[in-house]
Chains A and B, each alone.
Chain A
Amino acid sequence: MLQIIKQILLTGNKTEAPPQPNDAMRNGVQQINAQILNHVGRALAIRHVDAGSCNGCELEIHCLNNAYYNIEGLGINFVASPRHADMLLVTGPVSRHMEIALKRTYDATPDPKLVVAIGDCGCDGGIFGESYASCGKVANVIPVDVTVPGCPPTPTEILQGILTAVSSNK
């Protein structure tokens, strides 16, 4: 136990300042109302859905939980069910095998809800595109509020996308 406390003290506080919202990331008709805006500065609950990614974007989403980005410190947390979520963070081109699961997850998320599509594949289908097996971009399957390009986008860019979505009526 002493060793753990010593290591915690030696590590210190690694958390950095969060990025500013970015208007360039806004697109589409955003389904935000005052109720969601109330979440800004309080807990925002996010449900991540991997709809067919290569798993690259997930690596960077995981990093949001590390001490440098400390996303929970900003009042944002990842939840285990869409029924608890204000926002869906969707990665990947949507594989046709995940199309129904993604639609059901969207339907299970209470209104009003936000959808942020993560990565080049989520934005425009990326290298996988559309085919017999892939629906392409997330917006082909469910309405999308904000897109964050990148392969994969950095944690800062993902965080910026999330903050852009929640502050969109400002």
Chain B
Amino acid sequence: MKLDDFTSIFPKLPGAMPIWHGTVNAQDLYSLCEQVKQAGGKLVSLWGSDETEKGGHYALHVSLLSIDGMLVLTLTVDQTKPAFPDLSVLFPAANRMQRSVTDMLGLHPTEAGDQRKWLRHSTWPDNVHPLRKSFDMNTRFTPEEDNYSFVTVTGKGVHEIAVGPVHAGTIEPGHFRFSVVGERVLKLEERLGYKHKGIEKRFEYMTLQQGAKLAGRISGDTTVGYAWAYAQAVESATLTTPPPRALWLRALFLELERLLNHIGDLGYLGNDAALAFGFIQFWILKEDLLRMNGDLFGHRYLMDRIVPGGVTHNLDNSGLLRISEMLNHIKHETGILKDIYDEHAGVQDRFLTTGFVAPDLAAQLGLTGLAGRASGQAWDARAQFPCIPYDQLDVQMATHRNGDVAARVTMRFEEIFESVRLIRLMLEQLPAGELSAELGNANEGVLGIGWVEGWRGEIMVALHVGENNRIHRLHPHDPSWQNWPVLEHAIMDNIVPDFPLINKSFNLSYSGVDL
């Protein structure tokens, strides 16, 4: 099958974003993936579902990004021989996603080089797959030994530093295994999955309405991004169109979330380069913004403010004024702080050339989102596939090619200034009207996809609808799936003390990928 034919043969899903879905055989799946790769596209997500009860088979789903939009391919997987083609040879980022499908659902990539477990540690045995419908969420097992086989680096003077899962700061848990010679890092191997708390399984016990709250808690720092993507998926499946004012307010929330995270990260990046002044200054700014959110919308991080069908909170004229004044404050302060960061020799010495990811390596490994744009990967759904209201705002995508900590810092500064500009336009053009629309009913078996450019990168939510407006299967995708493996490359040949700085410059989610 030709890639060009895909969008004409298969239907476009209803809803805000350009997404096509079709069922293909194994040969076409591989061929389409290959063509997307050759055309400069990329893998977004890969997940499986158990269709044995109604269809007598399993299914593997793959979403890809091309210049036309998102392609979602579904492959029927035989119940007696649950195998699918190994896509990690085309997209290295598929490696951990495939291993998670094996752990959670028992489907195996054919002849994949790396078949180690990923999300499973020692809590359930290897012949048990929690996302199978026959598995009861409340089943308990006696933990066994984890016995994960790390890659061992040998040679004269090589030793290992094992860090985590409990880290030295207020950070999410994960394990990092450094192989070093002296201070120089030869290899980093990550072991995640410590936060696996059964999110995907729990969704299957919920209705479409109930799922919204859980979606907002997949990764707390991206609660707006996930809530919007979840709402898009439900609205696509139920053929619901939210009123314009709701869509504009959602975008306002998303840009406020981007500001919060970028401002916070810039503070910590200064701190990690021994400029505590930067932390103090940026975190005053962040707190000002959080308090404004709390006063105007009743929640500092805007959790549960986006619901399927619309939004829960309105904005009046005094609120508009308050945000407008805050934007002036942020722009003014950030401008001063950017000059200080740019001209501080000590900070620049730590930022420049540190944690370098070359554009060609970024393309090969599928580095995405903010970190991808800092290494020449020019993808931003707000600019390329703009939904309402971004289609009226002419979003200017920031990109750089230097690929180091300094580039990822500059990306954040530029995206702050662009978000300030976008929010100003939103305040000026915010349409009047209702805040939400009543949800329609969703037919069983329907697929709804949500796709939002969160502050870290693209957030995707895939919703497979079950009986009576319940969730049959839900897979949330965080851009951290793509970017965690690239961090292993970014640290190579750097010194151990630069790891916190490099790590923070990516600031990836653990909860969003451990699920």
Query: Which residue numbers of A lie inside 8 Å of B, CB to CB?
Result: 3-4, 7-8, 11, 14, 48-63, 65-68, 78, 80-82, 92-93, 95-101, 105, 127-134, 151-152, 154
Whether the pair A53, B172 counts as a contact (CB closer than 8 A) is yes
Q: Which of B123, B135, B199, B511 contacts A55 (CB 8 A)?
A: B511
> What's the least CB distance linking A135 to chain B, in Å?
9
In the complex, which residue of chain A has the Cβ closest to the Cβ of B510? A55
Contact with A along B161-184 (1 / 0, CB 8 A): 000011011111100000000000
Residues of chain A contacted by B504 (CB below 8 angstroms): none
Residues of chain B contacted by A97 (CB below 8 angstroms): 121-123, 193-196, 514
A66/B284 contact (C-beta < 8 A), A92-B195, A132-B201, A134-B197 known: yes
Whether the pair A127, B213 counts as a contact (CB closer than 8 A) is yes
Given contacts A82-B166, A95-B197, 4 further A-B contacts (CB under 8 A): A50-B172, A53-B220, A63-B286, A67-B284
A4/B123 contact (C-beta < 8 A), A55-B172, A95-B196, A127-B213 known: no
> What's the least CB distance linking B436 to chain A, in Å?
22
> What's the least CB distance linking A118 to chain B, in Å?
11
Whether the pair B170, A133 counts as a contact (CB closer than 8 A) is no
A131/B201 contact (C-beta < 8 A), A52-B195, A62-B264, A63-B290 known: yes
Whether the pair B340, A4 counts as a contact (CB closer than 8 A) is yes
Chain B contacts with A in 326-369, Cβ cutoff 8 A:
336-337, 339-340, 343
Residues of chain A contacted by B141 (CB below 8 angstroms): 132
B219 interface contact, C-beta 8 A: yes
Residues of chain B contacted by A54 (CB below 8 angstroms): 217-220, 511
> What's the least CB distance linking B114 to chain A, in Å?
20
Q: Which of A3, A62, A66, A132 contacts B140 (CB 8 A)?
A: A132
Residues of chain A contacted by B194 (CB below 8 angstroms): 52, 95, 97-98, 101
Whether the pair A78, B198 counts as a contact (CB closer than 8 A) is no
A67/B171 contact (C-beta < 8 A), A3-B339, A128-B197 known: no
A66/B286 contact (C-beta < 8 A), A50-B172, A151-B303 known: yes
> What's the least CB distance linking B283 to chain A, in Å?
4
Residues of chain A contacted by B197 (CB below 8 angstroms): 52, 92-93, 95, 128, 131, 133-134
A56/B124 contact (C-beta < 8 A), A68-B284, A133-B196 known: no
B287 interface contact, C-beta 8 A: yes
Residues of chain B contacted by A92 (CB below 8 angstroms): 195, 197
Whether the pair B170, A98 counts as a contact (CB closer than 8 A) is no
B143 interface contact, C-beta 8 A: yes
Contact with A along B182-209 (1 / 0, CB 8 A): 0000000000011111110110000000
Chain B interface residue bracket vs A: 35 or more
> What's the least CB distance linking A68 to chain B, in Å?
5
Whether the pair A101, B166 counts as a contact (CB closer than 8 A) is yes
> What's the least CB distance linking A134 to chain B, in Å?
4
Q: How far is the CA of A166 from the CA of B124 in the complex (A)?
A: 39
Residue with the greatest number of chain B CB neighbours at <10 A, chosen from A58, A65, A132, A152: A132
The list of the 5 closest CB pairs from A to B, nearest first, reads: A56-B220, A133-B198, A80-B168, A66-B283, A54-B220
Whether the pair A78, B169 counts as a contact (CB closer than 8 A) is yes
Q: Write 15 A-B pairs (CB below 8 A) sorted by A numbering.
A: A11-B284, A53-B511, A56-B223, A58-B170, A59-B220, A67-B284, A68-B284, A97-B194, A98-B173, A105-B166, A130-B138, A132-B135, A132-B138, A133-B123, A154-B294
A131/B280 contact (C-beta < 8 A), A58-B171, A105-B166 known: no
Number of A-B contacts (CB under 8 A): 161
Whether the pair B168, A81 counts as a contact (CB closer than 8 A) is yes
Q: How far is the CA of A124 from the CA of B300 in the complex (A)?
A: 22
Residues of chain A contacted by B303 (CB below 8 angstroms): 56, 151
Q: How far is the CA of A11 from the CA of B283 in the complex (A)?
A: 12
Q: How far is the CA of A67 from the CA of B284 in the complex (A)?
A: 6
Whether the pair B165, A7 counts as a contact (CB closer than 8 A) is no
Whether the pair A152, B195 counts as a contact (CB closer than 8 A) is no
> What's the least CB distance linking A52 to chain B, in Å?
5
Residues of chain A contacted by B10 (CB below 8 angstroms): none
Q: How far is the CA of A94 from the CA of B303 in the complex (A)?
A: 22
A127/B336 contact (C-beta < 8 A), A11-B281, A92-B195, A101-B194 known: no
In the complex, which residue of chain A has the Cβ closest to the Cβ of B168? A80
A101/B165 contact (C-beta < 8 A), A3-B340, A59-B301 known: yes
Contact with A along B82-107 (1 / 0, CB 8 A): 00000000000000000000000000
Residues of chain A contacted by B121 (CB below 8 angstroms): 97
A49/B509 contact (C-beta < 8 A), A54-B217, A66-B284 known: no
> What's the least CB distance linking A47 to chain B, in Å?
8
Residues of chain B contacted by A61 (CB below 8 angstroms): 170
Q: How far is the CA of A144 from the CA of B301 in the complex (A)?
A: 27
> What's the least CB distance linking B129 to chain A, in Å?
11
Residues of chain B contacted by A50 (CB below 8 angstroms): 170-173, 195
Residues of chain B contacted by A58 (CB below 8 angstroms): 170-172, 220
Q: How far is the CA of A101 from the CA of B167 in the complex (A)?
A: 11
Whether the pair A7, B287 counts as a contact (CB closer than 8 A) is no
Residues of chain B contacted by A52 (CB below 8 angstroms): 173, 194-195, 197
In the complex, which residue of chain A has the Cβ closest to the Cβ of B210? A127
Whether the pair B283, A65 counts as a contact (CB closer than 8 A) is yes
Q: How far is the CA of A78 from the CA of B167 in the complex (A)?
A: 12
B137 interface contact, C-beta 8 A: yes
Q: How far is the CA of A131 from the CA of B122 in the complex (A)?
A: 15
Whether the pair B199, A128 counts as a contact (CB closer than 8 A) is yes
B139 interface contact, C-beta 8 A: yes
Residues of chain B contacted by A63 (CB below 8 angstroms): 283, 286-287, 290
Q: How far is the CA of A92 from the CA of B514 in the complex (A)?
A: 14
> What's the least CB distance linking B162 to chain A, in Å?
13
In the complex, which residue of chain A has the Cβ closest to the Cβ of B221? A55
